Amino acid sequence: MTTPQAPDRAATPRRAGTTGASAAPRRPRGREERSRAASLALHSALIAATVIALFPIVFIVLVSIRGENGWTHPMEMEGFTLSNYTHVLGGTEFLTWMLNSVVIAGGTMLVGVLISASAGYALSRMRFPGHAPLMWTFLVCQMFPVAVLIVPLYNILGALGLLDSYGGLIITYCSVSVPFCAWMLKGYFDTIPTEIDESGRVDGLSPFGTFWRLVVPLARPGLAVTAFYTFLTAWGEVAFATQFMSSETKYTLAVGLQTFVGPHRAEWGLMTASSVLIMVPAALLFFFAQRHLVAGLTAGGTKG
């Protein structure tokens, strides 16, 4: 993976300091050496931040394993049971919603990455009339508030009979994800040396052949990250899904969970158990992808 960031750079000891130590009897205090008090302050600050970062997550997990009414006594630590989980999995539409979310987010991811890869490559390697406006368009597409597109899309999907269907929501999400994918992939392709393309051209490949045979395989990590990001965006979307999916069997997770905590009664036990079930796979995926996510994202912007 040819990301511009070498993640462990700061962990390697500084060469200058060690050679200095052998040459001079008194080594000046280096930038990364701290007094005991400074170390303590640093660790306390980081621990405080970690506690704040983890608190809501741990809290939700704890509430979820304390039964239907466990949430009413948040400070108690007793009565642990998995009843919320069995209820969510057995007695609600949770699994259907999960499946819907997976289908819709997965569909958006496939369409988004497939369509935008070649555009990202063209934008990265070729200078053509329309280059700058297109990059600008991608940025502008990030700015569309949900209110601009939602009514026209609602009417259009209604006219096409695509409301309350997977296809309709996938189409809608593509309006968000395609410009974003193209933007991120352009940034990623920029980090692949152009010599590779040149050697491909010398061997008689067409620009598209170079792209497909040489660059796409090299860009696999970048494609994966973009795909993952698109998936997550669609996975967590609320506004469109809430209006476009009207029957309970078509709800996505973001819509379905709202039914647990409606205005009249709130089933926080079910809500917390579902939240944990949603968070676990996401957190695992994240653990593997996070380092590359930002590299791809910021590369798109800094060299735009």
Partner 1 sequence: MSTLIARTRRSFATHWYAWAMVLPVVVVLAVLVGYPLGRGVYLSFTDANEANIGRVIGDFEVPASYSFVGLDNYWHILSGQEGSFYPRLGWTLAWTASCVFLHYTIGLGLALMLNRRLKGRSVYRVLLILPWAVPAFVAAFAWKLMYNTNNGVLNALLGKVGVGPVDWLGDPFVQKLSVIAVNTWLGVPFMMVAILGGLQSIPRELYEAAEMDGASPWQRFRNVTLPGLRPVSSTIVLLGTIWTFNMFPIIFLVIGQAGGTESEILVTYAYRLAFQGVRDYAGSATYGIVILSLLLVFSVFYRGMLKRQEAAQ
**Tokens encoding 147:** 């209110």
Helix then strand count (H, E) for the chain reads: 14, 0
> Of 18 and 39, which has the nearer Cβ to partner 1?
39
Smallest distance from partner 1 to CB 167, Å: 13
> Of 86 and 137, which has the nearer Cβ to partner 1?
137
Smallest distance from partner 1 to CB 219, Å: 14
Q: Please tell me what DSSP assigns to residue 66.
A: B
> Of 18 and 290, which has the nearer Cβ to partner 1?
290
Smallest distance from partner 1 to CB 35, Å: 13
> Of 196 and 261, which has the nearer Cβ to partner 1?
261
> Of 23 and 143, which has the nearer Cβ to partner 1?
143
∠47-52-54 over CA atoms, to 5°?
Answer: 90
For 17, residues 6+ apart whose C-beta sits below 8 A from its C-beta are 27, 30
* Burial class for 146, CB neighbours closer than 10 Å (0-12, 13-18, 19+): middle
Could you give the CA distance from residue 223 to residue 237 in angstroms, rounded to a whole number? 21
Smallest distance from partner 1 to CB 217, Å: 17
The number of C-alpha atoms within 13 Å of 179 and in the hemisphere containing its C-beta is: 16
Smallest distance from partner 1 to CB 226, Å: 13
